[in-house]
Amino acid sequence: MTTAQLLLTLRTCKLELNEQGQRTWVQYAISRSVKAAKTAMLISDMWDRHWSDGVNWRTALLAPQINAVAELLRAAGVLIVHAPSETMESYRSSPARVRLLYAHHCKPAIRRSVVEVPLPIDDSDGGSDTAEPVPVNAKVWSRQHALIRIDDTQDLIAGDEGELIYSALKERSIDTLLYSGVHANMCLLNRSFGIKQMLAWGINCVLFEDLSDVIYNPARVPYVNHEEAHKLVIRFIEKFYCPTTLGAELDL
């Protein structure tokens, strides 16, 4: 087993009183070392195609960045879990898919209470910032983005299968899950493998700020541009759910 260590800079936000007795959110950054062999990276819903052209454009930029970090972490001994939901037919015979299906099933024993807090952005219209050639929420994806490599000799491929992923983590004594992909205001929080569920099951969760994105229409509350909406959601997650980190700051 590899003895490699990952040094992560973890950011959280806490509500505190300032010197004037006013409540204010303060961001903290701490350095924490985790064992590579006890860590996994999950790549959420980085599909080959999306119904939103805006998502397609941003995904094409994000995929190579996610792949570069995945390659680095895999080489260090981190388990890579590809989770392109609703595309498992494309991976039926993949060794990485079969490997997950044969994981020893482990029913989650821990059921922690996880808060439900309203998002800082309104994504109720589906969240696209572009006019679409196909219906909103049409399932046009068939597999993971081609720019993200799957190593069939050691990676795992999962759909929206939280208990299967949890079982694979426990089988390998993994207690830290690094999240990447799309979208931070939807799937990354709310899938069966999402941050809320894994926190409830006792897994330590960390979100890559620079390896994730949001889906949001600037014509909706709070009427900000896409980049600002992403920052709002990242800070929201730091406040109420889990720390964030930057792939660009990874230190091995």
Number of structural domains (the chain) is 1
Is 75 part of any domain? yes
Q: What is the mean pLDDT of residues 180-193?
A: 98
Q: 153 in a domain, yes or no? A: yes
Confidence of residue 2 (pLDDT cuts 50, 70, 90): low
Q: Which of 63, 207, 34 is nearest to 146 (CA)?
A: 63
The share of the chain scoring above pLDDT 90, in percent, equals: 91
Tell me the C-alpha distance between 127 and 213, whole Å.
Answer: 12
DSSP per-residue codes, 91-147: GTT-HHHHHHHTSPP--------------SS--TT---SS--SS-TT-----SB-TT
- Is the distance from CB of 82 to CB of 154 less than 8 angstroms? no
Residue ranges making up the domain that contains 198: 5-113+127-249
User: Residue 110's pLDDT is what?
Assistant: 80
Cis peptide before 183 (omega within 30 of 0): yes
Give me the phi and psi of 58, to 5 degrees please. -70, -35
**CATH number, position 203:** 3.40.50.850
Mean pLDDT of 104-133: 91
β-strands 23-35, 5-17 pairing: antiparallel
Beta strands 23-35 and 39-44: pairing type? unpaired
All residues at 6 or more sequence positions from 63 whose CB lies less than 8 Å from its CB, including other chains: 46, 145, 147, 148
* pLDDT value, residue 135: 83
Question: What digits encode the pLDDT tens for the residues 196-239?
Answer: 999 999 999 999 999 999 999 999 999 999 999 999 999 999 99
Report how far apart, in Å, the C-alpha atoms of 141 and of each of 25, 48, 166 are: 39, 6, 25
**What pLDDT sits at residue 152?**
97
CA 14 to chain centre: 22
**Among the ranges given (131-140, 175-184, 210-219), the one the predictor scored with the smallest mean pLDDT:** 131-140
Which residue do the tokens 């079982």 mark?
Answer: 167
Instruction: Please determine, for residue 193, whether its predicted confidence score (pLDDT) is greater than 80.
Output: yes
Question: How much is the average pLDDT of 25-31?
Answer: 97
For residues 207 and 179, is the Cβ–Cβ distance under 8 A? yes
Q: Report d(CA 249, CA 245) in Å as an integer.
A: 8
Task: Inform me whether the pLDDT recorded for 1 exceeds 60.
Answer: no
Is residue 120 a part of any domain in this protein? no
Q: What percentage of the chain reaches a pLDDT higher than 70? A: 99
On whether residue 28 sits in a domain, the answer given is: yes
Task: Report d(CA 97, CA 32) in Å as an integer.
Answer: 31
Q: Is 121 inside a domain boundary?
A: no
If pLDDT is split at 50, 70 and 90, which confidence band does 133 have?
A: confident
